[in-house]
Structure 1
């Protein structure tokens, strides 16, 4: 059911007019819905999405109905609808019926005043904060960033599921998920702990969407590549994207996730005999060149026919001289997938 919109109680109305409904200022409403006040004012100027009451010399006050219209506008634009069409639909959804405005509580026989309406079902819930600056991106990415700031978990899940299903996991990662994650990281770095909750919620939903894509394909039989983060590496989302991309291509893999201890990594290589091992490192301090060399030197099989894996060092942590000799260094996700497919086939 809709979440009631918390609204401040205005000052007492003058004696010559009835008391006004509780209302919000433009700035408070923008923070609640995760858009900028400039965007709200632009929508009001261009499309008529604005408060019905405009007292001279005072801030615009948004009534509960006005809030519902703007919340619907945000929900529609987050789903890729153009602002002009979103405004038309939002205003039509909240327009009174042909018989005029709704009946009062006395006329309808209900007892007591009705609650002020919240955002429409399925629309954004109050979250707070300003929009994430994602730049020139797909509409799905803009919608994802807006939903993340609002802490709108259902909308995050819907956008991610739609993106993976329509674009495929690789394009969804590079064009939708990664720009939003980077924007959340920049915002977190600039604002401190205020935006940690946004990044955590977004990361969890991205991981869930990628894992769903990786698990919905029956893995083929045969030698599988090994995917692991370096022992001190805590970032796993790029590995999740790689696993989803391998599943899309029908290529077998074993995912060990981040922070796999040294001896566990070497033992996994010996036990599974992978044709290739991809080692992920997000930052330079986790890129252990000596360990990558040990992985490349690990052998298995009968004497006289022993073999060893090809090592791929992926991630920004492996830049410069940290790349071990002989290791492949894919520059991006599609390149890594091409190299692994070549090694497997």
Structure 2
């Protein structure tokens, strides 16, 4: 649940890197195309050449220029002043010269972008664009990056390779920076939740399946992974009853007995919220007519259950892809 600039591109043979469109540049840098066009119109931060005199085509040195603009803007430099500095440097030499002479260039042992960088590590480029947008608190750009990731890669790949690495990086950053970056995590988490809820669902009428009940343990506040699971099941025409974070045991018990779910998935983010006694209590809930009483199948999701003893019939889920497979295999013949 990245630095304002990931790394300075090295200018190579133009034939190795075909020119990019404005939209592609915006996606890579985590800004909106409107922002890129605005910088070009107001400050002259744009491609040096245009195809047929009209279409913008960004060469590597042009991308390096707007990337530096993004970095300065994310550090709080006013756009006009950032543009002045970028254009001044661009006028003195190539992007390679700027990188070699910049006092803020990346150094060994430190992530690009200095102290404001998010610890992303070796991740997909989409993570860097998403992280940069989140650090800038650019909600529209974050929403756009998330929509593109989900549309281009599908829920499972987008969640495992783009969304989760970015959420983890933001969490690590604010955990080591006091209260700083909490607002970044909150904004990113909210946008992820909204993006998941916007995903199309497959109608469940006629499926003949009992619902899958999803809930966090009573003390667990982190529900995003459970929301991703709910979205994935809804795409697969599996009926879901999602109860979200911190559901008290009494409410959970009533929900189980009233719904009669095919499966109950309990999410726990940490060992402090993983309560085996709670699982035993839920496993003992019964519903149905006398003589044909039923009990729920229990699936335990989240890292909080790692190392917890499993009773007969309990199953641990270890990731979104595996969770979707495990649930489908238990519901579908």
Provide TM-score, normalisation by structure 1.
0.66
Q: Does 1:144 align with 2:95?
A: no
- Is the contact made by 2:30 and 2:131 (CA closer than 8 Å) also made in structure 1? no
- Is the contact made by 1:289 and 1:324 (CA closer than 8 Å) also made in structure 2? no
Of 232, 235, 249, 1:248 maps to: 235
What SS does the aligned partner of 1:191 have?
coil
In structure 2, the residue matched to 1:158 is 144
In structure 1, the residue matched to 2:4 is 34
In structure 2, the residue matched to 1:56 is none
Residues 291-328 of structure 1, C-alpha deviation per residue, up to 9 Å, x if partnerless? 11111111111112111110001111111135444310
Partner Cα distance (2:152, 2:139) in 1: 20
Q: Which runs of 5+ in 2 are unaligned?
A: 13-21, 32-43, 54-65, 76-114
In structure 1, the residue matched to 2:259 is 272
Relative distance call for 1:239 and 1:76 in structure 2 (3 A) is closer
Based on CA coordinates, which of the two structures has the bigger radius of gyration? 1
What SS does the aligned partner of 1:305 have?
coil
Of 277, 283, 295, 1:308 maps to: 295
Relative distance call for 1:235 and 1:323 in structure 2 (3 A) is farther
Q: Does 1:187 align with 2:142?
A: no
Q: Does 1:91 align with 2:52?
A: no
Partner Cα distance (1:237, 1:190) in 2: 22
- Is the contact made by 2:229 and 2:324 (CA closer than 8 Å) also made in structure 1? yes
In structure 2, the residue matched to 1:338 is 325
Partner Cα distance (1:72, 1:310) in 2: 48
Q: Pairwise mapping of residues 313-328 of structure 1 onto structure 2 (< 5 A)?
A: 313-328=300-315
- Is the contact made by 1:169 and 1:245 (CA closer than 8 Å) also made in structure 2? yes
In structure 2, the residue matched to 1:84 is none
Partner Cα distance (1:330, 1:90) in 2: 49
- Is the contact made by 2:202 and 2:236 (CA closer than 8 Å) also made in structure 1? no
- Is the contact made by 1:72 and 1:90 (CA closer than 8 Å) also made in structure 2? no
In structure 2, the residue matched to 1:78 is 29
In structure 1, the residue matched to 2:197 is 211
Relative distance call for 1:167 and 1:269 in structure 2 (3 A) is same
Partner Cα distance (1:195, 1:305) in 2: 53
Relative distance call for 1:78 and 1:35 in structure 2 (3 A) is closer
Q: Does 1:239 align with 2:226?
A: yes
Q: Does 1:297 align with 2:267?
A: no
- Is the contact made by 2:30 and 2:132 (CA closer than 8 Å) also made in structure 1? no
- Is the contact made by 1:281 and 1:318 (CA closer than 8 Å) also made in structure 2? yes
Relative distance call for 1:126 and 1:295 in structure 2 (3 A) is same
Partner Cα distance (2:72, 2:252) in 1: 43
CA RMSD between the two structures: 3.1
Q: Which runs of 5+ in 1 are unaligned?
A: 1-30, 48-70, 81-88, 99-118
Partner Cα distance (1:268, 1:125) in 2: 52
Relative distance call for 1:273 and 1:124 in structure 2 (3 A) is farther
Q: Tell me: higher relative CO, structure 1 or 2? Use CA pairs within 8 A at least 6 residues apart.
A: 2
- Is the contact made by 1:148 and 1:202 (CA closer than 8 Å) also made in structure 2? yes
Residues 159-189 of structure 1, C-alpha deviation per residue, up to 9 Å, x if partnerless? 1011111211121111110000000011111
- Is the contact made by 1:125 and 1:151 (CA closer than 8 Å) also made in structure 2? no
- Is the contact made by 2:285 and 2:295 (CA closer than 8 Å) also made in structure 1? yes
Structure 1 consecutive aligned stretches of length 4 or more whose deviation exceeds 6 Å: 71-74
Structure 1 residue 77: deviation in Å? Answer: 2.4
Q: Does 1:286 align with 2:270?
A: no
Of 103, 107, 116, 1:130 maps to: 116
What SS does the aligned partner of 1:188 have?
helix
